[in-house]
Amino acid sequence: MLKAVVGLQFGDEGKGKFVDYLSRTSRHIVRFNGGANAGHSVQRGKHRAFFSQLPATMDEKDLYITQGALTSPDILINELNFLKKVGLNSTIHIDPRSHVVLPLHVELNAASEHYKGKNKIGSVGKGIGACFEDKSNRLGLRLADLVDKNVLSSKLEFLWKIRERQIEQVFSGKLSIEFEDVLHTCHQHGLFLEKYFSFTNERINEVLQNGETVLLETSQATFLDNAFGTYPYTVAYQTLVQSCFPLIGIPAREIDSLGVMKAYMIRVGNGPFPTEIHTELADYIREAGNEYGTVSKRPRRCGWLDLNLIKHATKLNGIKELAITNVDVLGGLDSIQACIGYESQAHAICTNRALMQLEHAKPIYKEFAGWEKITGSHYSYNDLPEQLKSYLAYIEDYVGVPIKFISYGPDRDQTIQVF
């Protein structure tokens, strides 16, 4: 059986918490797309961990990185060392066909963003887009290439000449790294990671055939998808959950997908954001919700919940249940708003059309009564304020998908399961 945790907004919805939460009943957890640009955090009591490469859990599990996920070896090795340091003896499976994000890609990423000026995307600067370019152009290096130094040197030299010329002659930049240093470091990384190499498509397929549950951790979120998101302000790849099949290498089948959303909207970097709040209330939400990027550390833009996008995301991903996070952050406000439609040039427009020019979409709001601050521990749905329950009931009715989990804090135990 395949289960999945899917982000329904612009990222940072709290997916990491629910990967960790659902790992209680799943032995096998898979990262199949994205790279170190996607940071997921997990909190257990006073302990907080951040994962950008490994699936986000603090349980001892079988953790997989498939060929569809990009690998930044230095970051991955730090996370493997963290697991060892805290005594988590998870079994690690890394596909040797995973493409490597090189320091060269980070340099190209920075030069490209600088050259774009006011038109820059707002990349977190991890080199992910540049690595995907090389993968699609058949120039990329895979983890298996790092083990043989002669193979690595030949492939890296060819790529280096192309990218160095591009950085200098197209983007008017200059490399700050040396070929021999990168060659040596990458080779050492390859030797370290080789013991974890595994053809993950075969292992995962065997696990599924044995009737076991496999939990998928999606990278980024629905509206950063490079086809169905707010293009060009997206990532370089597809983020919809059904893209998992070619990225893992297994036949298509039904996925039991949990869609994760916040009680409001956030966005990191540039791009259209119709419900963004431009008053001091945005600062209040940012501080109350600790809305700073897990990877970038940048302050997140904050706005009201956009139910158009949530409903659209559930359709795109085939979501069966919802998890809503950060309901505690809005506690204490007099009133809450949510977007329930768009207008463009005074005419109502559908979400598909709005997404093609979201910067011109005017949100239509519905107002809700606020609820009191949530303090202490809540163990059932009935413990919640009535105004919050009304807000949640409207979301369920509008989206047409039931809310299964309600999160009122970062800790795993600050979660209500609705039966």
One-character DSSP codes across 89-108: --EEEE-TTSBB--HHHHHH
**Within 10 A of 325 (CB to CB), how many other CB atoms are there?**
26
Q: How large a percentage of the chain has pLDDT more than 70?
A: 97
DSSP 201-212: HHHHHHHHHTT-
CATH class of 2-96+196-258: alpha beta
Structure confidence by residue, pLDDT tens digits, 37-75: 877 888 776 678 889 999 989 889 999 999 999 999 999
47 Cβ neighbours under 8 A, 6+ residues apart: 58, 86
For residue 392, the surrounding DSSP H or E stretch is: helix 386-399
374 Cβ neighbours under 8 A, 6+ residues apart: 327, 328, 331, 384, 385, 388, 408
The sign of the dihedral angle between the CA atoms of 292, 272, 71, 112 is negative
Give CA–CA dist 285/123, Å, rounded: 23
Give CA–CA dist 257/4, Å, rounded: 5
DSSP 166-228: IIIIIS-----S-HHHHHHHHHHHHHHHGGGB--HHHHHHHHHHTT--EEEE--S-GGG-TTT
Classify 164 as helix, strand or coil: helix
Q: Which of 12, 20, 62, 306 is catalytic?
A: 12
In the residue annotation, 40 being an active-site residue is answered as yes
Q: Each residue's pLDDT tens digit in the chain (419 positions)?
A: 999 999 999 999 999 899 999 998 999 999 999 999 877 888 776 678 889 999 989 889 999 999 999 999 999 999 999 999 989 899 999 999 999 999 999 999 888 888 877 776 666 778 999 999 999 999 999 999 999 999 999 999 999 999 999 999 999 889 999 999 999 999 999 999 999 999 999 999 999 999 999 999 998 899 999 999 999 999 989 999 999 999 999 999 999 999 999 999 999 888 999 999 999 999 999 999 999 876 667 899 999 999 999 999 999 999 999 999 999 999 999 999 999 999 987 788 899 999 998 999 999 999 999 999 998 777 789 989 999 999 999 999 999 999 999 999 888 888 999 98
Provide the pLDDT for residue 286: 96
Q: Which of 28, 40, 93, 378 is catalytic?
A: 40
Q: Quote the crossing angle between the two packed helices 103-116 and 149-165, to the nearest 10°.
A: 10
Q: What are phi and psi of 174, to 5 degrees?
A: -150, 135
Q: Which of 92, 96, 49, 88 is nearest to 69 (CA)?
A: 96
Token digits of residue 186: 């990458």
The domain made up of 103-193 has a fold known as Adenylosuccinate Synthetase, subunit A; domain 2 (1.10.300)
Pairing of the two strands 403-407 and 415-417: antiparallel
Query: What are the residue ranges spanned by the domains of the chain?
Result: 2-96+196-258, 103-193
Give CA–CA dist 240/244, Å, rounded: 8
Provide the pLDDT for residue 117: 77
Q: Residue 173, Cα to own-chain centre: how many angstroms?
A: 30
In the residue annotation, 12 being an active-site residue is answered as yes
